[in-house]
Structure formats: C-alpha cells, structure tokens
Structure 1
Amino acid sequence: MAGDKGTEDPCVGGPVRHVPVLLPEVVGAVAPATGQVILDGTFGAGGYTRALLDAGAEVIAIDRDPTAIAAGKPIVDAAGGRLVLVEGRFSDLGEIVQARHPNGIDGVVLDIGVSSMQIDQAERGFSFQKDGPLDMRMGGNGPTAADVVNMLKPGDLARVLGFYGEERQAGRIARAIEARRAERPFERTLDLAEVIGRVVGRSPKDKIDPATRSFQALRIYVNDELGELARALVAAERILRPGGRLVVVTFHSLEDRIVKRFLKDRSSQPSGSRHLPDAATRLLTFTASNKAVAATEAEAERNPRARSAKLRLGVRTDAASREAAGALDFAGLPSLADLPQRGD
C-alpha cells in the first residue's frame, strides 16, 4: 500500500512478488516457542505463519480473502494439526480465539498492508496500473469502489479522499468525478485513474502516480481498514495472556498512528496539568516502547514494500482489559458518510 504519509510504494500499482516484511524482526518480537499459541491475523501468503510454525508454535491464521484461504491449504496439510486457517476479519479475532482457546493465547501478529498478490490480480481492482473492474474489496461482500465513486455525494467523497488518502486536491478530484459520472458511471480502474491524473497532473519531480493517494483512500474506505485495525487491537488486549505479545507491522502513517496511540493509551498514565485536578489513575494493560522498528537498508533495497514499514510491540500485563465503553476512543477515527448501497 502507499508509503508513509502517502509517499512512494510501487506495491500500490505495480507487480511486486509478495515477500513478508520484517520477517526476522517479527519472529524475534513474537518470540514463539514450542507449545505456544500464536494468532496470525493477516495470513496472506502465509509468510509469518510458516516462520511461527517452524519455531514450534501452534498457529491460528485469519484472512478475509477466500483466495488466500484456498491457497493456504497445503500449509495446513503440512502443519500436522498445528495450523487452523479461518476465513474472516481480523477484527473478529477475539471471537475466533475464544471459541478455541478460552484461556487466551501467547501472541498476535498483524501485517496491516494490502497483499501484492491481490494487487497483481487485475480483476481485484486494486491497481491503477492494470485495467480491471473497480472493485477493491478484500473479501467478496459489500459495496465496491465503483459504488463509492458513483454514489457518494461530492463533499463526502472529498472527505474520504482527503482523510484516508491525505490527498490535497481531494475537492477538485471529487468534482471531476461528479462531472464525469453524470455522463456514464465509473466501472474500470484505468478509467478512474485517467480522470484523477488529469486533475492532479504530474511534474517531473513527482515520485508517485497521481492516482496513488485516491486509490489508497478508496481501498481503505471500502474495506474499513482503520476501523478493522482499531477493533483488532482492542480484541487482542482481551485474548492475550499476561506476557503475551502484540506485534503490528504498518505501512502508512494513518495505521501507525492508531497503533502508537493504542499502545501509549494502554501503557502509560494520562498526563496531568498543574491547572487541573490529577487525572484518574488507570490500569495499564501493556508495556511498550515508543520507538518503532524499521526495515534495514538491505531489506528495503531487496523489497521496496518494506521502505515504509514500521513494527511496534506491546507486551500484555496482568491487568484486566478495558471496558468496552469508549474502547476505540484512542483511534481518532472521523465520522464519514456510510458506504453507499445500490438503490439508495
């Protein structure tokens, strides 16, 4: 997906063989051992899962993409009963784990990025460099990106592009989309990319395609990626045993900000003020470092997708989980228009 703060990453539109990012760092942070149970919430091509199995752990792996589940069957067959592969959203990891391990598990790993395998499949509609249906759904249900660009009001569409894509020309793009869809609806990825390109333009100094930020925004919005992440973090808090490890790899500042806020909220007391009463002391559910781990220069050279990756680690304490009320306040998610439904 797009790099930090919307900067370069050819994985948004170009063919990049899927390689697990920060693999040694992830395995080191999780510290898997024989007999432990680790959840891989973003199975993808199974890179992290294989490494966890090789370390002797049992793994529950989740993916919302049915093609990833089907492709993972050989890994399940080779795991000798130590791998359970579940089709579902990683925000539901709490329920998935509780059904199998009601006393909790030892680790949760999340790789919050779109799979290059999905991008390489033009029919999935993620790429602005390959013509395909304007879909972008990671699963098979719900409104598509075509529904969004054809049905959202221009003001709502501009807010989606501005927040999720950090696109400075979101208003102009939304108005151009409105004018064009009045003639005929958008159905193909290259059609939309062409309209966006005419609005944004491209100078010789630009490092990314003009459509990068808008396509990123649509994908995040269609799949509710930031809401999924926030709910998954709260669920991980509930199902990790004391000493259990939460490891999250992000690829964009929006995602990293949510993870950073969550770990800070769960691992430090609120700051007081000499002008206000002392803030109430709260139970701390994680210990965490404020410093993220980045890819080495060598890995970034081998795999451009790693350039914007950040790894953050939290270790579960024995404090009780936070109450559900206000559990997602840390995320700072905006109030945006609901996804359109056909016929609305």
Structure 2
Amino acid sequence: MGNEEIIYHTPVLLKESVDGMNIHPEGTYVDVTFGGGGHSREILSRLGEKGKLLGFDQDEDAERNIVNDGRFIFVRSNFRYLRNFLHYHQVEEVDSILADLGVSSHHFDDSERGFSFRFNGSLDMRMNKRSGITAADIVNTYEEEKLANILYLYGELKNSRKLASVIVKSRVTKKIETIEDFLEIIKPLFGREREKKELAKVFQALRIEVNQEMEALKEMLTAATEALKPGGRLVVITYHSLEDRMVKNIMKTGNIEGKAEQDFFGNLQTPFKLVNNKVIVPDEEEIERNPRSRSGKLRIAEKK
C-alpha cells in the first residue's frame, strides 16, 4: 500500500509548522497528534540517521499509518500522558513538540464513529474506542444543568439551556441512541439558514466532553513546557477559540490561566519567547484545496 493510500489526513500548514520546529538532523522530536502521519513523514524527511521521532495517537485507526522507520517510535496513547511515555522511552528532553489539534476528515467521514451529523450511526465520538463514555451516554445521563453548561462552554451556543431542556424531556420517553434520534430532537431548535453551523457547534461540544479534550490539552501543554530543552520549540495548530486561548496563554505567560508573573523590575516571567507574534494562517490556495483548514491558526514559541 502506498503512502497516498495510507494517509487519510492532509496536514494543515504542513510546511509552516514543520519549518517552525527548527529541525536539526540529530535531534529528538515529538508529534503528539500522529493521525495520518503526514507531519511525521515530513519531520522524518529532515532527520539524519541519529535523529529520533515519537508519534502519539490514542486512535487505533492511526496504527495503520505507522511509519516503518528505525528512527520512529509510535506511542498508542492520549497525548496527556506525554511526560510518562517520554520517561518510559528514556527520553529526558526533546528539541521540539508539534500538535495539530484538528479532527481529521477521516473521523468526520466515518459514519460509524459518530463525529458528523451528515450520517446516521451510533452517537459515539470517542477518539479511543477502547474506553470512556460516548456522546450517547452524555445526552442520556447528564443532568440538565451540566448538559447546558457543556453546550454553552464548548459549543458557545446561546440557546444551550433550551437545548438541554428539550434533550432531557425527550430522553424520558425514548433513549437517544443514534445520530438520527438526536437530530430529530434538536433540529427544530435551529433556523434553516444557520442549521449546519449550529449543529456543528453541538457536535463539537459533545466531542470535546467525550474526549476530555480541554483537560488533556492542559496536561499536554504543561508537560511539553517541562520536556522541551532550552531553545526547543512548541508548535501548535488550533481550530477553535477555547484551545487557542489555552495555547496563547501558555506561550505568553507559561501557564494555562494566562496569569502574568513579573519580576522585581516588572519583566514578564515566562519560560517561552514567541517566535511568531502574529498567528500564521493558511493562504487562499490551501483553503481552496482543504476547506477545513480555514479555521487553522499556527502558534510557535521557543523555550528560553
């Protein structure tokens, strides 16, 4: 099987992000979102014989894309456990860490995974199919207030309370098991002109909760800060405001909350210096080739 058949995810900002890693041939690098392996293949193409790359992915589908290369180590795990697995593989410090936080088109196009409202199928949304709760578990068991908070916080839905109320009332008479069941309940709450955008927000909110994405990102960013060598690069591509805010905060202040600490002279105390003060975004050509790249934002910081 050729690379073209294996890779299911066309990487966003591929050249810009790998350039931003400032790769030198003998270095040690981490791709915490291996996916289809597009970024990893580009990194490996720039490494020498003594270079090393670790690729993380919790999704079993990603294992089909493992690179057959002695310099590459695949870690079947959520990137929140970055530090643990670096210790396990006897890696004390790394030269650069790359994270592409987008959900690949492969997941959206697989009706069995439940990530998209375009298909019917089970309301699942787990990145790791071996464990955790599903989106169906959430809509069938969460209390109304908790459900409303998730829809508001992770989906930024203004009618989150109304949505939660309708979902809770509906599940009393019939368990919500499929995407079709779910859409039947929530579609009437959206006007036709904004229906797709609003449904995308609902599905995003549930996906974030199912996979504990914000908690995992917080743990990974904290671990990355500790794992990088002085002069090492943190390179992150974000796609929505919640994750982008966390990345921006850690790069500017060294913590997720964005609390700026200053020394006696008023200088900002942070482990990083920004490589690009302005976010890097895809150009029109890339957006035309891959419409999902439109919301991508690339941030790069270097450890002091």
Give TM-score, length-normalised by structure 2: 0.90
Matched, 1:306 2:293: yes
> For residue 325 of structure 1, what is the aligned residue in structure 2?
none
Contact 2:252 2:270 in 1 (8 A): no
Hey, what does 1:29 align to over in structure 2?
20
The alignment status of 1:176 with 2:163, answered yes or no, reads: no
* Equivalent of residue 85 in structure 1, options 71, 74, 98: 74
Q: How does 1:129-140 map to 2 (within 5 A)?
A: 129-140=118-129
Cα distance in structure 2, aligned partners of 1:180 and 1:302: 41
Which residue of structure 2 aligns with residue 4 of structure 1? none
Q: Distance in 2 between matches of 1:295 and 1:32?
A: 21
Offset of residue 197 of structure 1 = 1.1
Segments of structure 2 that go 5 or more residues without pairing to the other structure are 1-7
RMSD over aligned Cα, in angstroms?
2.1
Displacement of 1:280: 8.1
Distance 1:60 1:195, change over 3 A: same
Q: 1:209-266 CA deviation, whole Å, 9 max, x = no partner?
A: 4311111000001101111111111000111111111000001111101101111112
Counterpart contact for 1:264–1:290, Cα < 8 Å = no
1:210 is aligned to 2:198: yes
* Shift, 1:154, TM fit: 1.0
Runs of 4+ with deviation above 6 angstroms: 277-282
Counterpart pick for 2:143 among 144, 149, 153: 153
How far residue 207 of structure 1 moved from its aligned partner, in angstroms, is 7.6
2:231 aligned to which of 236, 243, 265: 243
Structure 2 counterpart of 1:96, from 85, 91, 99: 85
CA–CA distance in structure 2, aligned partners of residues 233 and 49 of structure 1: 19
Work out whether residues 269 and 282 of structure 1, in 8 Å CA contact, stay in contact via their aligned partners in 2. Answer: no
1:61 aligns to what? Answer: 55
Q: Deviations over 1:6-46 (max 9, x none)?
A: xxxxxxxxxxx621000010111002121111100000000
What amino acid sits opposite 1:220 in the alignment?
Answer: I
Report the Cα distance in structure 2 between the residues aligned to 1:171 and 1:266, rounded to whole angstroms.
35
**Larger relative contact order, structure 1 or 2 (CA cutoff 8 Å, min sep 6):** 1
Deviation at 1:118, TM superposition (A): 1.4
| Cα distance between partner residues in 2 of 1:201 and 1:191 | 19
How much does 1:132 deviate?
0.8
Q: Cα distance, 1:83 vs. partner?
A: 0.5
> Which residue of the partner structure matches residue 328 of structure 1?
none
Please tell me whether the aligned partners of residues 269 and 281 of structure 1 are also in contact (alpha carbons under 8 angstroms): no
Checking the alignment, whether the CA contact within 8 Å between 1:38 and 1:60 is kept in structure 2 is yes
Per-residue deviation at 1:202? 1.9
Q: Which has the higher helix share?
A: 2
Question: TM-score, length-normalised on structure 1?
Answer: 0.80
Match of 2:251 among 239, 263, 269: 263
Percent identity of paired positions between Structure 1 and Structure 2: 38
Aligned residue identity for 2:97: V
Aligned residues: 290
